[in-house]
Amino acid sequence: MTETTDPGSGPADHPGPGDAAEGTRTGMSHSTRSAIEWVAVIVGALVVALVVKTFLIQAFYIPSESMVPTLEVGDRVLVNKLSYTTGDIDRGDIVVFARPGGPGSDGIEDLIKRVVALPGETVEGRGGQVFIDGQPLAEPYLPDAVETSVFPPYVVPEDHVWLMGDNRGASDDSRRFKGVPTDDIVGRAFVVIWPFTQLGTL
């Protein structure tokens, strides 16, 4: 009697060399594809972060006491860079702008101050107060004891604003460098994100 073998049993139970090689190639292809996908995700995330920082929202660190008590040294704020592409600058806005004359000896390139006077207005400091077009300006964001130093009347040019720090005794602002071109404004600070205990809108 001649012994026979089921033709279908061999390849299923005992994979040949060709099958093993094909399985290895499939595994390598899957690993490569996964690596490419992860690289694409990381690159995509970096591109999105760069676009957001460049055109939409950027975090800024507060290095000085010029905005105390509204902003303390070490606070971090988010700045909306699109605020003034769709709307006007308003009195009372807190804005980040390019430092007039370029970075100082401390290396700081941008400053943060409050908008006090708008284009075409006459701003003046006398009697411890700010006057706009001859009328005293209500500044509820300032502590009661804060007084503004005397400075002569100044007509804010078109496309400029007059900026001052809330800490009037320790702020290098428009009292020295006068009107700031609106084109130099980076954006409006709208929320404190650090420390968490001070989290809130501006």
Which residues are annotated as catalytic? Answer: 66, 113
Using alpha carbons only, how large is the chain's radius of gyration in Å? Answer: 31
How many C-beta atoms surround the C-beta of residue 138 within 10 A? 11
Roughly how many angstroms between the first and final C-alpha of the chain, as a whole number? 97
